[in-house]
Amino acid sequence: MNNEVKKEIIDVLKGSLDAIKKNDIKFLRDLSNKIINSSSLFQDEDVITMAVMTYSLSKIFERTDYRKYPGWKLFFETTNSSLNGALFSLQNNDVTNFEKNIKNILDVIDKLDNKLKKYIKEAIHDAQIARGSRLYEHGLSLGRTAELLGIDKWELTEYIGKTGISEVREISSISVDKRLKFARGLFK
Amino acid sequence: MNDLFFDTSSIISLATNNLLSVLEELKKKFKGDFVISDAVRKESLDNPLNSKKYKLEAIMISNLIKNNIFRIYDNVNSESKTIKLLEICNNIFVAHGKSIKILDKAEVEALVLAHLLQGTYIVDERNIRLLVEDYKKLAMILERKLDTKITINNQNIKEFKSEIKDVNIIRSAELMTIAFEMGLFNEYENKYVNKKEILDGILWGLKLRGCAISSEEIDEILRIERVK
């Protein structure tokens, strides 16, 4: 992990812990948006995981009704302690333990009661697609984005279609008139 | 040769809009083949067959392969060129001294096939089209969205241009517009729906399910087609 990436992840971890403590959902989402630039640039697995993780947490924490489920306390405490552990590990250049701590958050989901497990898994899946659309927006191709996030091209394509990403002025390379004339010629 | 080489992105847009049957009709009016690479087959058939969400679309695609509407090209001769070109493509745009990987193998493979077999590339995905037709626009997107200076490796762009010469590209939107011109959607015209609405509906359906076309371009197509 290069120093620039490490510094950015440490900032995000500190910010996430602070946001969770203050129940500041918007700040969690802002952190994810901030780290998406580095995700596109460095395409580092840990940065991408953090972008998805913070976005997922913002979605999970905004649903206050999740807190009524019996497994919530376990999820909340594991998330807090694992983020703290990940921060401590990275500050001490221990990338292996950093990754192990982040994995703990994902592993605990399987120990939750069925409903909460289902909701949180869905939130993480949706976050992967949503973050994927941001990588695409930043200039990565559909295939490269799907490859980096380990997500399905079909789902990503449908999600991207519903955003305004293809409305940017650079999307048009040659005129539709020229392209149509060429296409017509193919069938003559 | 006059074959059409489909990328996964276009197959997805067509399949999710239930427009695959139009390909069957188009094929009857086309002198060449509709070709997909092995990697595109995996992405458009094998992967969705293993999911619940897009299984039905995959079944429809399998039928097109069975009926020889799609021909699978699995000649390994394109492998080395694909790897070489992927390496070049992913080292064209540089930020902070680091190359930005912008494409994956399947996208490049279909382009390589279209080039080697002198066909037309059907792709709805934005990046590869821009790279072939106007790479500076892709650099502009990267620079604006990443908010950082992007430098272009001129040697690699030159090499890319020399490796991929004269590949023509169309999107599913243009392909379906041609189908519309041929009257393949005439059966949908009725007292509730006129021709303009049919074409508008087709193009917006494709856009909203992944075809990288702007609303301005859709308006332009409607203007060109002069539909009422």
Tens digits of per-residue pLDDT, A53-84? 999 999 999 989 999 999 999 999 999 999 99
Nearest to A154 among B54, B142, B178 (CB): B54
Question: Would the CA dihedral through B103, B47, B51, A119 be positive or negative?
Answer: negative
Q: What mean pLDDT comes out for the span B197-221?
A: 96
- pLDDT tens, A106-159? 999 988 998 999 999 999 999 999 999 999 999 999 999 999 999 999 999 999
| Closest residue on chain A to B100 (Cα) | A41
Question: Which one, of A147, A108, A36, A142, lies nearest residue B8 by Cα?
Answer: A142
- pLDDT tens, A141-155? 999 999 999 999 999
pLDDT at res. B77: 78
Calculate the CA B199 to chain-centre distance.
19
Q: What mean pLDDT comes out for the span B219-225?
A: 96
**CB within 8 Å of chain A, chain B residues 31-90:** 43, 47-48, 51, 53-54, 57
pLDDT at res. B200: 97
CA-based radius of gyration for chain A:
19
B128: contact with A, CB 8 A cutoff: yes
User: Which residue, among A125, A179, A181, A182, would best test binding to B if mutated, counting the most B CBs under 10 Å from its CB?
Assistant: A179
B26: contact with A, CB 8 A cutoff: yes
Q: What mean pLDDT comes out for the span A38-48?
A: 91
pLDDT at res. A35: 92
Q: What mean pLDDT comes out for the span A39-64?
A: 92
CA A131/CA A133 separation, integer angstroms: 5
pLDDT at res. B76: 67
pLDDT at B228 over 80: no
pLDDT at A94 over 70: yes
pLDDT at res. A168: 86
Proportion of chain B above pLDDT 90, given as a percent: 88
CA-based radius of gyration for chain B:
18
pLDDT at res. A13: 96
> How many helices and strands (H and E) does chain A possess?
9, 0
pLDDT at B89 over 70: yes
Q: What mean pLDDT comes out for the span A150-172?
A: 91
Question: Which one, of B36, B40, B14, lies nearest residue B107 by Cα?
Answer: B40
- pLDDT tens, B94-130? 998 999 999 999 899 989 999 999 999 999 999 999 9
Q: Which residue has the higher pLDDT, A166 or B172?
A: B172
CB distance A35 to A8 below 8 Å: yes
Nearest to B126 among A41, A152, A166 (CB): A166
pLDDT at res. B155: 97
pLDDT at res. A118: 93
**Cβ B221–A180 below 8 Å, yes or no?**
yes
pLDDT at res. A2: 85
- Confidence band, pLDDT 50/70/90 cuts, at residue A170: confident
pLDDT at res. B1: 60
Place of tokens 């990338």: A95
- Lay out the sheet containing B98-99: strands in order across: B98-99, B93-95, B151-152
Nearest to B104 among A143, A152, A182 (CB): A143
Q: What mean pLDDT comes out for the span B161-179?
A: 94
ipTM above 0.90, yes or no: yes
pLDDT at res. A173: 87
B10: contact with A, CB 8 A cutoff: no
Distances (CA, A) of A8 to A2, A32, A67: 10, 11, 30
Classify residue B89 by burial, with Cβ atoms within 10 Å: 0-12, 13-18, 19+: buried
CA A28/CA A57 separation, integer angstroms: 7
